[in-house]
Structure 1
């Protein structure tokens, strides 16, 4: 961080370390950076929580049960999206595959699936479902894919531009890259400010806007061909944000804020989370 960098917010890690981090505007592009960023060999400790739901299949609470109901619906929508792409072959790489549910669903629709997931607990859960995952992109450096997906993963990646370059090298020339990330310009982000759960520091190292994604991927000659909303994220994020702000999940208030966020986004396009469909520029 330079002396001229402006700290926009100070945000607490509510779920694991309770440490406080700063959000700083990137000097070149329209996204925010988490400062300080943990060293790569220290990142793992910030994921060591039974509450980190994407690495488990737990259904202990009403919140977790609701999460899995919405997850099942979302998986079907995601597979329908990649099925809509006209690719020469149905080869799919999912980066940050979690417990393998998306790949399992895609496999039933005829996709040849490959997944990357560094977390050991998530890999173990995926293995039980018959999905084998690799721990890093280096393991598949010589392969090429028609579709590469990152569902709420890009914000977690250290050495961001180097990783995007590596991901780009794995995509076939006419392939499709699908990125889903939270949108820090959404209404729920503005409403909850430092309590907005989708900041999720320091696991989220970067915080994106539509302009930031366009600028970042243009460096690898990608253009955005489509932007789609993730409607349910406004409710999920608002529930967690209520917990962080007030100490409990106020379902009614979270529903209100989620509805308001989605309603305003119909005019602005600034949904709580967005899916970007990217293709290489001709």
Structure 2
């Protein structure tokens, strides 16, 4: 393991405040965080691994009406692996929107957020307030499909989480999850509020997906979620790309830096001609999807 950067939790709270206009200091009981990279598999994570509690997610859900998006393209990408006869377990089911998309023999959804459970029930989807670790104790090798949409990046003990999910899965069953793609310059942008603790604990690259064979899983596919590469999107990607270059040049943290430094650098980037930025995008940036859908088979 190697430390990529270390920063004060007050800085993260300042970033949350600027983004959402709310003080999130109640959710930080630690003075600082370090950002680590695994030298073997390139997996990235924050330590201490402090995940947000139920109240944290309820506040985000109140601030962002579409926090649990009912129209995620990942849903349809995963749906093609599910047949009518399958028993499906969804870990971190949110508002129950994925359950409304699929058709299967049996569906069980696990969720901690009380508000999300209430919203799911209003849609006719009953969820269990239970961890996958607890669920796995009485449901060994029960399911044909394990699904988890944008949950792995939130989990503090990722090893225990995946191990429990695999325990619930039958031989030759599919373990499928979607996560943000850290190889994308938008997803991994500097001061990306929701890509910082206590929201996201881990960050995934294509290389890190290859390391789950230790759980008896065989990687089947990694699919990028398609995005519209409009001019606005391309310019945003270039801005994030250049901001990273500036922070590296100044030996600043590559994850979270002061708002003053961001504003100063952004003002400089905004002075560049649009045509030049589009040339930079075309020749210097290998763009990838914002999110990845990863499919494994249990051996």
Structure 2 vs 1, CA of residues 6 and 57 (structure 1 numbering), >3 Å: closer, same or farther? closer
Q: 2:225 — aligned with what?
A: 230
1:7 to 1, 4, 17: 4
- The whole-number CA distance in structure 1 between the counterparts of 2:44 and 2:228 is 20
Report how far residue 181 of structure 1 moved.
0.9
Across the aligned residues of Structure 1 and Structure 2, the Cα RMSD in angstroms comes to 3.7
1:21·1:202 contact (CA, 8 Å) conserved in 2?
no
Residues 178 and 291 of structure 2 are in contact (CA less than 8 Å); yes or no, is this contact kept in structure 1? Answer: yes
Provide the rounded CA distance (Å) in 2 between the counterparts of 1:57 and 1:269.
Answer: 30
User: 2:19 matched to which residue of 1?
Assistant: none
TM-score under structure 1 normalisation? 0.70
- Quote the Cα distance in structure 1 between the aligned partners of 2:292 and 2:168: 23
Task: Pick the aligned partner of 1:32 from 44, 63, 85.
Answer: 44
- The question of whether the paired residues in 2 share the 8 Å contact of 1:115 and 1:134 is answered with yes
User: Greater Rg, structure 1 or structure 2?
Assistant: 2
State the partner residue of 2:297. 279
Match of 2:21? none
Counterpart-to-counterpart distance in 1, 2:205 and 2:109: 26
Per-residue CA deviations over 1:189-245 (Å, capped at 9, x if unaligned) read 45x32x124523222111111111211x1111212211111235996xx79x9xx86
Show CA shifts across 1:134-183 (max 9, x none). 12221453331111111110111122112211110111111111111112
Q: Which residue of 2 aligns with 1:47?
A: 56
Q: What are the superposed Cα offsets for residues 30-89 of structure 1, whole Å, 9 maximum, x if unpaired?
A: 111112222x7xx41672553x24xx6964xxxx4xx78xx4442xx4454344227582
Shift in Å, 1:100: 0.9
Partners of 2:180 and 2:124 lie apart in 1 by: 30
Distance 1:44 1:121 in 2: 13
For residues 83 and 189 of structure 1, the distance between their equivalents in structure 2, rounded to whole angstroms, comes to 24
Deviation of 1:9 (Å): 6.2
* Corresponding pairs, count: 239
Where 2:124 maps in the other structure, the secondary structure is: coil
Change (3 A) 1:46 1:270: farther
Q: Show the counterpart of 1:23.
A: 35
CA distance in 1, matches of 2:86, 2:63: 27
Tell whether the 8 Å contact from 1:150 to 1:178 is kept in structure 2 after alignment.
Answer: yes
